[in-house]
Amino acid sequence: MVSLYERACEIKKATGWTQEQISAETGLHISTVSRIFRVPGYLGNETSNKLIKLLHQEVVKSPFPAYIEQLFELYNAWKERYPKKEFAQYINILEPLLRNHQALDSHELIACRVSWLLGHIYYDRAFYLKEHEVMKQVESALAWYQAALKVLTYHEDSSLTVQQYKIQQCIVATKFNCCERSRRAESEEIRHWLLAMDYLQLVETVVTEDSWNWVAARNGLVAASILQNLEKCRFFWQAMQTVNKSFENLEFVPSEWLPSRCLHFARILIWCGL
C-alpha cells in the first residue's frame, strides 16, 4: 500500500512544485496538502487519496508500461476489497496470463515488472493466503523476484535504483517471514544474505536521494542493527528524525498501516549506545 505521503513526495520530486502548486493542481485545500507532507502516517479521506493518486499517475512517470502498472493497482485493489477466497481466485486467473507474457524471457523492462508481480502472487500465497506447501510458494516468490532484479541489473541504469531497492526489499521481506521474529536478530543466514546483496549501501543510496523516505530508512535501520553496524544505525535513525522529529520517541507509531517497529528500534539504540 502506497501512502498519501509517499505519493505526494514523489509528485514534488518529479515536478519541483510547492505545496501551494500541488494544492492548486489537485483542488485540495492547502491545509490538507500541508498535513500530508507534515504527517507521514496521515491516511486522509477517499477524496484526498483519489486526487493525489490521479495527479501522481499524471506526473510521476514509471519506467514500465502503463498497462502493467494498472495491473499492479488492480492487484492491490483485489487484495484490499475481496475476501481471501475470492482474492485467491482472481490471482489464479491472473498468473497464467502473466506467465505467458511474450516479453517474459527477454531483457525488456516489462519483463522485470511481470516477474515482480508473479513474485507478489507467490508471496501472498505463502504468507497472506497461507496455502499448502508454503516453502514451495516461498521458493517461487524468491525466484520471480530474482528474475525481476536480473532484468534491472542488465540495464545498469542509475535511474532504476529505487526499483532495485523495492525488489530487494521484497526479497528481504520474504526471507524475514521465513524466520521466526525472535530469531531474526541473531540469524547468521539473515546476516549473510544482507551482506551478500550489499543491502545497506543500496538503502543508503535511496535515502540519500529521497531524504523523505523514512520507510526505507526504517528498513535500513533494522538491517543495520542485525549487522551491528553502528555507523549505519546512526545514519538511518537520523534520516527518520529528519522526516519527522516524532521518531525521537521510540514509542511513536505513524499509523496502524505504517508501523515503526519502535520496540525493535529501542533494542537497536540501546545496543548502539545512542
Q: What is the pTM of this model?
A: 0.86
Burial 252-274 (b: 16+ CB within 10 A, else e): eebeeebebebebbeebbeebee
- Comparison of pLDDT for 20 and 258, the residue scoring more: 20
CB 68 within 8 A of CB 56: no
| Per-residue pLDDT tens digits for 31-73 | 999 999 988 888 889 999 999 999 998 999 889 999 999 999 9
Residue with cell 520474504: 174
pLDDT at 270: 45
pLDDT at 42: 86
Q: Which candidate, 206, 205, 260, places its Cα nearest to that of 9? A: 206
Judged against a pLDDT cut of 90, whether residue 182 lies above it is answered with no
- Which set of grid coordinates corresponds to residue 219? 528498513
Of 162-166, 196-200, 226-230, 264-268, the one with minimum mean pLDDT is 264-268
Helix, strand and coil in the chain, % to nearest 5:
75, 0, 25
Q: What is the mean pLDDT of the chain?
A: 89
| Per-residue pLDDT tens digits for 246-255 | 888 767 777 6
- Which set of grid coordinates corresponds to residue 138? 516461498
pLDDT at 40: 83
pLDDT at 272: 54
Q: Tell me the percentage of the chain whose pLDDT exceeds 90.
A: 66
Residue range 203-230: average pLDDT?
A: 92
CA separation for the pair 180, 2 (Å, rounded): 26
3-class secondary structure, 255: strand
Q: Which residues have CB under 8 Å from 246's CB, separation 6+?
A: 252, 254
Judged against a pLDDT cut of 60, whether residue 267 lies above it is answered with no
Q: How far is CA 3 from CA 37, 43, 118, in A?
A: 11, 7, 23
Residue type, 92: N
Instruction: Please spell the DSSP secondary structure of 117-172, one letter per residue.
Output: HHHHHHHHHHHTS--SSHHHHHHHHHHHHHHHHHHHHHH--GGGHHHHHHHHHHHH
| Per-residue pLDDT tens digits for 101-121 | 999 999 999 999 999 999 999
68 by Cβ neighbours in 10 Å (0-12 / 13-18 / 19+) ranks as: buried
